[in-house]
Amino acid sequence: MLIFALGDMEAVNPYLQHVRKGGVVNLFGGPPRGSKLTIDPRWLHYGQVRLTGTFASSPGSFVEALALIADGLIDVKPVISHRFALDELPMAVEQYRQGKLLKGVVLM
């Protein structure tokens, strides 16, 4: 499964081909209006790939996710690229704008 948690479809397109046969591609990040996703329909058809989208979560989903993380059943450390202290928030925003930040967390 490939999960794209970013809305820039130009960044997504080159990686679609890396999903295995029978795999799932999930678009989690919200793309801006007018964005286009370019796919080869043969890849989708013959590869038996499922293309899905995920939008929003209920408060219960957040509670469940936090419980799984707190109980150690899900390890999020490999997903986090940067950690920032609260007073470093402006630096985190600037790194994001410059494309230098993948998944950052602000620690309070």
**Residues 40-86: tens digit of each pLDDT:** 899 999 999 998 888 777 778 878 988 999 999 999 888 888 888 88
pLDDT of residue 108: 66
Domains and CATH numbers, the chain: 1-55 (3.40.50.720)
Secondary structure letter of residue 61 according to DSSP: H
Residue 6, pLDDT > 70, answer no
Residue 39, pLDDT > 80, answer yes
d(CA 32, CA 7): 7
pLDDT of residue 42: 92
Residue 25 CB neighbours (<10 A) = 21
Secondary structure letter of residue 18 according to DSSP: G
Residue 7, pLDDT > 80, answer no
Secondary structure letter of residue 56 according to DSSP: -
d(CA 85, CA 108): 7
> In 3D, which of 46, 5, 38, 58 has the Cα closest to residue 22?
46
User: Which pLDDT band holds residue 5 (cuts at 50, 70, 90)?
Assistant: low
d(CA 37, CA 7): 11
pLDDT of residue 38: 83
